[in-house]
Copies of this chain bind each other. A is one copy, B any other.
Amino acid sequence: MRYELYYWPDIQGRGEFVRLVLEESGTDYLDVARLPGRGKGIAAMMRLLNDNKSGFPPYAPPFLKAGKLVIGQTANILHYLGTRLGLAAKAEARRLWAHQLQLTIADFVGEIHDVHHPISGGLYYGQQKREAKRRAGYFTGERMPKYLDYFESVLSGNPRGSSYMLGRTFTYVDLSIFQVVAGLRYAFPETMKKLEPARPGLVTLHDRIAARPNIADYLSSSRRIPFNENGIFRHYPELDI
């Protein structure tokens, strides 16, 4: 079975957490909305969105087609793929813990997005700049250090060693931490310069993941969409305060 990922073709966004898992595991997949031709492209994604015929109409991209299943919600997709692609433990307690961490990453990602969109996702950034600037101060000053401290403490408190977030081997949660650190460096370079020294575990983990052969290959390929100001991690210097 070839997995089909449906996500916006021009941004990393939430879909990137799924792409990283598929790339690391060397899985055969189609990134459908990025492909030309019949039954492909954004039109194909929009057709499946809210399509009641599957029995599983997703609310928003990303979603994954796996045979007859259509699975939505990023963390749910990773929960499904994790054990299948060898990127999560099989024991229930460990699966729940990985999923819990992923859901906390999802909360963090939501807050990162809302820094540039505090009023409405239906408006442009330029239409909510003043509110964004006010929110950014609290985000970089309070929320960002609090989330990073939490993940650093999970890593340093891992009873099986601090090489990975859970246990002795790496999981999809490590890939997501890599993505968050990379995204924050792009969006908030000055803040990250200040925060990184006190969170050395996360920095080391980011570098370890970036050096994995499949990830390094992916990052240098055209399949990796560059960070840009349409995605979640946006570099607006006026918000990096």
Residues of chain A at the chain B interface (Cβ within 8 Å): 50, 52, 55-59, 69, 71-73, 75-76, 79-80, 93, 96-97, 99-100, 103-104, 107, 110, 114, 118-120, 122-123, 131, 134-135, 138-139, 142-143, 147, 150, 153-154, 157, 159
Cα–Cα distance between A56 and B59 once the two chains are bound (Å): 30
A122:B138 contact, CB within 8 angstroms: yes
Provide the bound-state CA to CA distance between A204 and B97, in Å.
Answer: 36
Q: Nearest Cβ distance between residue A88 and chain B, in whole angstroms?
A: 14
* CB within 8 Å for A100 and B72 given contacts A110-B110, A134-B131, A153-B50: yes
Q: Cα distance A50–B107 when bound, in Å?
A: 17
Question: With A119-B134, A119-B138, A122-B138 as given contacts, are A103 and B52 in contact (CB-CB < 8 Å)?
Answer: no
Chain B residues positioned under 8 Å from A71 (CB to CB): 96, 100
Q: Is the CB of A76 within 8 A of B93?
A: no
Query: What distance in Å separates the Cβ of A112 from its nearest Cβ neighbour in chain B?
Result: 13
* Minimal beta-carbon separation of A143 from chain B (angstroms): 8
Q: How far is the CB of A50 from chain B (nearest CB, A)?
A: 7
Instruction: Pick the 3 closest A-B CB pairs, nearest first.
Output: A52-B157, A120-B138, A73-B103
Q: Which residue of B79, B80, B118 is within 8 Å of A135 (Cβ)?
A: B118
CA distance A150 to B52 in the complex (A): 10
User: Given A71-B100, A157-B57, A138–B114 Cβ distance below 8 Å?
Assistant: no
Complex Cα distance, B166 from A38, in Å, reads 33
Given contacts A52-B157, A110-B110, A131-B131, contact A100 B119 (CB under 8 A): no
Bound: A58/B159 CA distance, A: 16
Task: Closest B residue to A106 by CB, please name it.
Answer: B103
Point out the residues of chain B lying under 8 angstroms from A79, CB to CB.
96, 99
**Are A153 and B110 in touch, CB under 8 angstroms?**
no
Closest to A138 in B: B120
The answer for the CA separation of A133 and B196 in the assembled complex, in Å, is 36
Closest to A80 in B: B96
Docked pose: A148 CA to B90 CA in angstroms: 36
Question: How far does the alpha carbon of A79 sit from the alpha carbon of B97 in the complex, in Å?
Answer: 12
| A150-B59 contact given A118-B118, A119-B118, CB 8 Å threshold | yes
A-B contact pairs, 13 of them (CB 8 A): A55-B97, A57-B150, A59-B104, A71-B96, A71-B100, A73-B104, A76-B99, A79-B99, A107-B110, A114-B114, A119-B135, A119-B138, A131-B131
